Amino acid sequence: MPTTIVADLRSDTVTKATPEMRHAMAEAEVGDDIREGDPTAQRLEATAAEITGQEAAVFCSSGTMGNLLAFMCHLRPGEEVIAERDSHFLRYESGGVAAIAGGIPRTIAGVAGRMELGRVAAEAEAGTSHKPRTTLIVAENTHNMAGGTCLDPGYMRQLWEIARSHGIAVHLDGARVWNAAVALGVPVSSLTSGCQSVMVDMSKGLCAPYGSLLCGSADFIGRARGMRQRVGGGVRQIGHMAAAGLVALEAMVERLAEDHANARRLAEGIHQVSPELVDLDLVQTNIVIVETGPIGLSGAEFATALADQGVLCHATGARRIRLVTHRDVSADQAERALEVIAGLVQSLRDG
């Protein structure tokens, strides 16, 4: 790794807490969240529930935990979960849906993170003595592996109607739903209110150092609290961390548009040098997927070459890398990162 970092584009999870968050954490009113409850965590939970159009919420240590609690509440062992093939919970959450919740994934290859809705309806199983029952549909918004693409309110309404007609619940992995709402110019609730459960994350683009929230009906969240305790997720004076989440919701959502603009600038600049490397239609929020096959490198090789020049990113496939913009990458840093990336691509082209 070079001494000087031009830009850390590995993920929006590398963001640091703001001074306002640190102050709020130090001054937070707290209590034992497992006993009588923590007042600051309760305020964060109520705020998240209101924003998502749900009745209640429970603060969790991570998005993985939030998703897992939802699966544990929705599913009985041997029941099916319909999800897009490259969903985050299938690729990066250690198989918890199957290993802990007992769910059986039934996957559908999506286009830009969207499952074709006719396929969703066709794949739903009522269950027989031989076939498992489909109990849950999981959607992801924004879709990480598709490049931060958005599911719009119209798509979500159709998904909710299909699920309702089949007696199936919908869970939204909304780790970056804040980005989707800002990009689409809609309230978060228009993307979440018809779901039976919603997970939202504080520690990505919103910059909080900890936590996610699982939102749903009051009864559902009551059960989720029990599941949280079962998997060791109960924390005592969690208000110190929840205080940062409150600052995040108050001050960090609208500024996500800056991250989107920086991602767009990166994508357009790379596209200008080599159009086949970036599909601009997929650059909707703060993630840019770069295909490395056309320049003759694997994703890992290209990421290493960029790291040697101070631009940090991840290979997310055999021949692709992912660039993620966030608060700690300024417009100037994004521009300098683009110069490095474009220069490397051009040198490989001239090779």
The CATH number of the domain covering residues in 19-251? 3.40.640.10
Determine the topology of domain 7-14+255-350 in CATH.
Answer: Aspartate Aminotransferase, domain 1 (3.90.1150)
Residue spans of the domains in the chain: they are 7-14+255-350, 19-251
Query: Which pLDDT score is estimated for 351?
Result: 64
Q: What is the pTM of this model?
A: 0.96
Strand duo 311-312 + 7-8: pairing: parallel
- Per-residue tokens: 218: 């009051």
Per-residue model confidence (pLDDT) at position 347:
86
What are the angstrom distances between the C-alpha of 180 and each of 13, 142, 146, 186, 284?
17, 6, 13, 8, 8
pLDDT at 130: 87
- Please tell me the predicted confidence (pLDDT) of residue 3: 63
Please give the chain's pLDDT, 351 residues, in tens: 556 999 999 999 999 999 999 999 999 999 998 888 899 999 999 999 999 999 999 999 999 999 999 999 999 999 999 999 999 999 999 999 999 999 999 999 999 999 999 999 999 988 888 899 999 999 999 999 999 999 999 999 999 999 999 999 999 999 999 999 999 999 999 999 999 999 999 999 999 999 999 999 999 999 999 999 999 988 999 999 999 999 999 999 999 999 999 999 999 999 999 999 999 999 999 999 999 999 999 999 999 999 999 999 999 999 999 999 999 999 999 999 999 999 999 888 776
Contacts of 176 (CB under 8 A, 6+ apart): 12, 141, 142, 144, 148, 201, 204, 205, 285, 286
User: What do you get for the CA distance between the two ends of the chain, in Å?
Assistant: 24
Residue pair 319/307 in contact (Cβ under 8 Å)? The answer is no
Query: Which tokens go with 8?
Result: 């850390």
- E strands of the chain, at which residues? 7-8, 56-60, 80-84, 104-108, 134-140, 169-174, 197-201, 212-216, 287-291, 311-312, 314-317, 320-324
CA–CA separation, 233 and 226 (whole Å): 10
Predicted confidence at residue 337, as pLDDT, reads 97
Supply the pLDDT for residue 348: 83
In sequence order, which residues have a C-beta less than 8 Å from that of residue 152 and are 6 or more positions away? Answer: 184, 186, 191
What's the rounded Cα separation, in Å, for the pair 204 and 62? Answer: 11
